[in-house]
Structure 1
Amino acid sequence: MMHTHGFQKLSIFAVLLAFIVPVFFAFALTPSEERSQLEQELQALEQEIQAIEGDITKTQQEKASLQKEISVLKNKIKKLDLQISQSNKIIEDLRFQITDTSQSIEQTIEDIETKKMQLGEVLQRLHREDQKSFAEIVFTGVTLSDFFGNLAGLEALRARNNELLVSMEKLSDYLQSQRGALEDEKSEEENFVRIQILQKQQSQSLSKQSEQLLEVTKGKESEYQKILADKKKKAQEIRSRIFDLIGVPDAPTFGEALEIATLVSRQTGVRPAFLLAVLTQESNIGKNVGQCYLKDANAGSGVRVNGQAISRVMKPSRDVQPFFAITQQLGRDPYNTPVSCPIPSVGGYGGAMGPAQFIPSTWVQYQNRIEQLKGGSVDPWNIRDAFLAAGVYLAQAKATRQTHDYEWCAAVTYFSGSCSSRNQVRYEFYGDNVMAIAAKYEEDIKALESASLGILGAPAR
C-alpha cells in the first residue's frame, strides 16, 4: 500500500509539472525583452516624477503655511521614492549591459585564440616550405603542373597568413574597445549607486524634517508663523549649525564654512552657496561610503578605519604613485592617511581624498594652479585647501558664469568628468540636488544678512 500511495503522489506531481513547466517557459523573457520592459518601466516612472514635480511647484507658490510645508515635504519624499525606483531600474539595465559586454569580451578572446592557432599552423607550413632547397622545389612533383601547383599553394598560404594577421589586428582593436566600454559601464553603474545613496539620505532627511516640524509646532499654524518671524534666532541657528565634511576630524560651523567659501569665491569667481552645495553633496556620498587606509600599493587593497580588510581601495595603475607623491610632499604616512572606500557591490575603486573628494591623479593635475592661488603648498585634507581646489575645478567647468544652467552643468562635470548630453540625462538628479542645496544655502546666507549680525559680510559676487 505504501508503494501504491507513493506512486499516486508521483503521478499527481507529474501532472502538475506538465501544466507548470510550459507556463514557466512561456513567460520567461529573453535578455532583450527584459531590457525593453525595463525601458517601459523607466518611462512610466519618469511620467510619475514629472507629475509630482508639477504638484510641488504649484504648492510652493502658495502662501507660507504649515499645511503647505508638510504637503511639499510629503511630495518631495514621494518623488524621491520614485527616483530611487528609477535608479534601481537603471542599475539593473546597466548590469544587463555589463553582462552582455563581458560575454562579448570572452567570445572575442576565444576568437583571437582560434586565430592564433590557425596562424601557428600556417607559419609552421610556411617554415617547412622555406627549409626546402631550390632543387627540392623544382623537382618535387612528377609534372610541371605539380610544380606550379606547389607554387600556387605557397602563395595561398602566404595570403592566408596575411589574412589572419589582419583579422587578429581587427579583433585586438575590437577587444580593446570592448574593455573600454566595460570600464565605462562599470563606472556608470558606480555613479548610479552613489546617486542612490544621496536619494535615500535625502528621503530620510525630509522624513525627519517633517516629523521635527510637527513636533516643534505641535501641528499649530500659529506656532509655525512664530518660527518664520523670528529671523534673529534663525540666523543664529544657521551660523552655528555644523557644516559636515568628509575626511576632516573637526567640522566647521556653517558660518566658518561660509567665510572660507566667500574667500574662495573672490579667488575663483564661483558662487559661495554653489561651492558649499557641491562640497555638501560630495561629503554626503563620502560619509556613506566610509573611510579607508591603503595597505598594499601593488594590489591597491587596504583596510577600513575599523581594521576590516577591503580590496580596491585605490586603482594601482592610476592613483597609487600620485598618492605617494602627495603624501610624501606633505610628510604624511601614505599607509595611515584616510581616503574614501570603494562601493563593494559595484566593484569600482575608492581613493578620494579630503572634503573635495579628489582622487590623487586628478589632484596632481590641479595642484600647481591651487598652489599659485594660495601662494604656498596645498593639502587635500586641509579644509581651506579643499574648498579652493573645488573652486578651481568648478571654475574650469564654467561655474563662474553663475547662471543656473552653467552651475548645473559644472556640478554634473564635478561628479562624472563631463557635462556630455548622455551625462546630463544620466546624472540629472545629482545636478538638480546640488542646485536645490545651493538655493537653500542662498536663503540661509540672505537670512544671515537680513538679521544684520555683521559677522560674515555679504558674499562676493
Structure 2
Amino acid sequence: MKRPTLRRFSRPAPFWAIFIVSCAIAAVPQFFAFAQENGSAEKRADLERQIQELEKEAEGLDVIIKGIQGEKRTLANEVSVLNAEAKKRELEIRRLDLALKKAKLEIAKKETGIAGLETKIAKSRKSLSASLFALYTYDHESIISVFFKKIALSDFFATLAGIHQVQAKIQEGLEIFHVDVKELEREQAELEDFRQEQSDIKSLQEVERKFLTDKKKEKDKLLKETQGKETVFQQVLSSKKRDIATLRTQLFYIERTGITAEDAIKFAELAAKRTGIRTAFLLALLEVETGRQFEDGVISVGTNIGTGSWKRDMYDCYIALKKPKTAEAQKEAFFSITAELGLDPEKMPVSRRPSYGCGGAMGPAQFIPTTWLLFKERVAKLTGHNPPSPWIVEDAFTASALYLADSGAASQTEVGEIRAAKAYISGSPNCSTSICRWYANTIVSLSRSIDRVL
C-alpha cells in the first residue's frame, strides 16, 4: 500500500511573499533631483543677497534723512529729505519685487515637498494594509491549531517568527506613518504661510507705489507753494498751521474708509496721550495697516467696518483650513462682543476673507474678536465707554494704541516702535520676515513725515 504523503502547512510561503511585497511598497523613491534642488537653493540665496543689499542702501538713505531732519528746517533740506524718501520708496518697491520672487520659489519648493510626502504616505498606507492582511491571515488560525497540523517543527517556528516580523513591521510602519502625517500637516501650514506672505507682498507693493507717488506730489506742491524761495518757506513754517491737505495725502487710505483726516488726528491724539505713544506713529501704523487691507480686498471704499460676514469669511474659513478650535474661539468671542453691545451678529459686517488667511476683523483698527477681548476692559477704562465697541473710532484707535504700547511703542524710540509694528502684523516683536521688516520700516518712515506736518 502506498504510504500517504504528509500534508505540510503551506502558509509561510504566501506570508513571505506578502512581507517582501509590503517592504517593496514601503520603499520610497527619490523624488527630488539634487541638481534641480541645488539650483533653486542658489536662486533663493541670490535673491536674499540682493534683498540685503537693497536693505543696506535703504538704511544708508535713512541715516541721511535723519541727519537732515536733525538740522534746521530749510527749503533745501526739505527738498533733500523728500528726494531721499522717494528714493527709499523706490528701493522698497524693488525689494518687495525680489521678496515676491523668493516667496514664489519657496512656495514651489513646499509644493514639491508636500507632493512627495503625500505619495510616501499613500505608499505607507498600502504597505500597512499588506502587513495587516498578513497578520489577519495568521490571527484567524491559532498557534496551537497550526502546531497540531503535523507540520515540521522548523516550519512552525518559521511561521511564528514570521508573525513576529509582521507585527514589528506594522509597529514600525505606524510610527513612520504618524511622523509623516505630522510632517505633512506642518509643511501644509508653512505653505499657507508662504502663500499669505506672497499675498501680503502684492498688496504692500501697491501701498508702496502710492507712497512713492505721494512723495513726488509733496515735493512738487512744496516747490510750487514756496516758488523755490527760502523766505516763503520760513513764513509757512512760522504760521504753525497744520497742512490738512498734506495730511489728507498721508492718511489717504484711512480717509477712504470714511474717517476724515481731522477725526483721525483727533482720536489718534487722544489714544496716544492715554497710552504714552507718539500720535504720528499710531497714525502711520493705522494708515499702512488700512492700506494693506485695502489692496488685498479685505475692506473697501466708504466703510471702516468691512463687507464680510462672520460665518463665511471667518468661521467657515478656519474650518476649511482645518482649524476648528480657532473657528469656535473666534465665533464665541464675536458673539460675546455683539451680545454685550446689543448688536445682531448676522448684521455686523467684518473684514472679508483675503487671498489667503481668514477675515473676521472688526472696525477701523481691524481687531479679530479674541484679540479685542484682551483689551476690552482697558479700553473701557480709558474711553469711558462700557462696553467699548471695535466699530467706534475712538475705542478702536485706543485699543490699537494699547497694543502698540504693550509691544514697545511706549518707549517712543525707533527700536521700540519697530518692535511694536512687527508685533502688530505678526504677533511677534522679533519677526524677521521680509513683510515684517518692510511693514515696520515703512511705518517708522511715514511717522516722520506725519510728525513734520503735525
Q: TM-score range by the shorter chain?
A: 0.7 to 0.9
Once the two structures are superposed, what CA deviation does each residue of 1:316-373 show, in whole Å capped at 9, x if it has no partner? 56645543443344344445544334544xx333332222121223223333443354
In the alignment, structure 1 residue 385 sits paired with structure 2 residue 395? yes
Structure 1 residue matching 2:432: 3-state secondary structure: helix
1:94 and 2:94 matched: no
Partner of 1:359: 368
- Encode CA deviations 1:256-276: one digit per residue, 9 max, x unaligned: 545434443454333434333
Superimposed CA distance per residue, residues 34-70 of structure 1 (whole angstroms, 9 cap, x where no aligned partner): 2233223323423433444454455546654433322
Do 1:408 and 1:431's aligned partners in 2 also have CA atoms closer than 8 Å? yes
1:323/1:360 contact within 8 Å kept: yes
2:259 is matched with 251
1:51-450 equivalences under 5 Å are 51-57=60-66, 59-60=68-69, 63-140=72-149, 142-231=151-240, 234-235=241-242, 237=244, 246=254, 251-254=259-262, 256-265=263-272, 267-288=274-295, 289=297, 290-291=299-300, 292-294=306-308, 297=311, 300=314, 319-344=330-355, 347-375=356-384, 376-420=386-430, 422-423=432-433, 426-445=435-454
CA 1:248–1:358: 2 relative to 1, 3 Å? farther
1:140/1:147 contact within 8 Å kept: no
TM-fit CA distance, 1:236: 7.5
Q: Which moved more, 1:196-205 or 1:326-335?
A: 326-335
Secondary structure, in 3 states, of the residue corresponding to 2:307?
strand
CA distance in 2, matches of 1:107, 1:166: 18
**C-alpha RMSD over aligned residues:** 3.6
Deviations 1:380-423 (A, max 9, x none): 11011102211221232133233332222112211221111525
2 CA distance for matches of 1:336 and 1:54?
Answer: 49
Report deviation, 1:132. Answer: 0.9
8 Å CA contact retained: 1:371, 1:378: yes
Partner Cα separation in structure 2 for residue 443 and residue 210 of structure 1: 14
Structure 1 counterpart SS, 2:360: coil
> Which secondary structure state, in structure 2, belongs to the residue aligned with residue 339 of structure 1?
coil
How far off is 1:134 after superposition? 4.5
Extract unaligned runs of 5+ from structure 1: 1-28, 303-310, 446-461
Percentage of matched positions with identical amino acids: 30
Contact 2:380 2:387 in 1 (8 A): yes
Whether the aligned pair in 1 keeps the contact of 2:135 and 2:163 (CA below 8 Å) is yes
Amino acid at match of 1:168: F
Q: 1:58 to 1:261 in 2, by over 3 A?
A: closer
- Please, which runs of 5 or more residues in structure 2 have no aligned partner? 1-37, 301-305
Residues in 2 aligned to 1:377 and 1:248: alpha-carbon distance in whole angstroms: 27
CA contact (8 A) 1:108 1:175 kept: yes
Counterpart-to-counterpart distance in 1, 2:60 and 2:313: 48
The offset of 1:90, in angstroms, is 1.0
How many angstroms apart in 2 are the aligned matches of 1:229 and 1:102? 60
Q: CA deviation at 1:82?
A: 1.4
Say whether the 8 Å CA contact 2:422–2:430 is kept in structure 1: no
Amino acid across the alignment from 1:285:
R
Segment drifting more, 323-332 vs 380-389:
323-332
Give the partner amino acid of 2:42. E
182 and 124 in structure 1: CA distance in 2 versus 1, 3 angstrom threshold: same
How far has the Cα of 1:171 moved from its partner?
1.0
Please, what TM-score do these two structures have when normalized by structure 2?
A: 0.76
TM-score normalised according to structure 1 size? 0.75
Q: d(CA) in 2 for partners of 1:57 and 1:267?
A: 28
| 8 Å Cα contact 2:351/2:361 also seen in 1 | yes
Structure 2 partner of 1:42: 51
Contact 1:293 1:335 in 2 (8 A): no
Relative to structure 1, the CA distance from residue 266 to residue 70 in structure 2 (aligned partners, 3 Å threshold; closer, same or farther) is closer
Relative to structure 1, is the Cα distance of residues 78 and 367 closer, same or farther in structure 2, using a 3 angstrom cutoff? same
Determine the C-alpha separation between the residues in 2 that align with 1:173 and 1:196: 35
Assess, with a 3 A threshold, how the Cα gap between structure 1 residues 132 and 433 changes in structure 2: closer, same or farther: same
Evaluate the alpha carbon distance shift between residue 193 and residue 341 of structure 1 in structure 2; reply closer, same or farther with a 3 A threshold.
farther
Worse-matched range after superposition: 402-411 or 151-160: 402-411
Inter-CA distance 364–109: structure 2 relative to 1 (3 Å threshold):
farther
- The change in CA–CA distance for 1:236 and 1:153 in structure 2 (over 3 A counts) is closer
Contact 1:339/1:350 (<8 A) preserved: yes
**Residue pair 2:310, 2:349 contacting (<8 A) in 1 also:** no
Contact 1:319 1:360 in 2 (8 A): yes
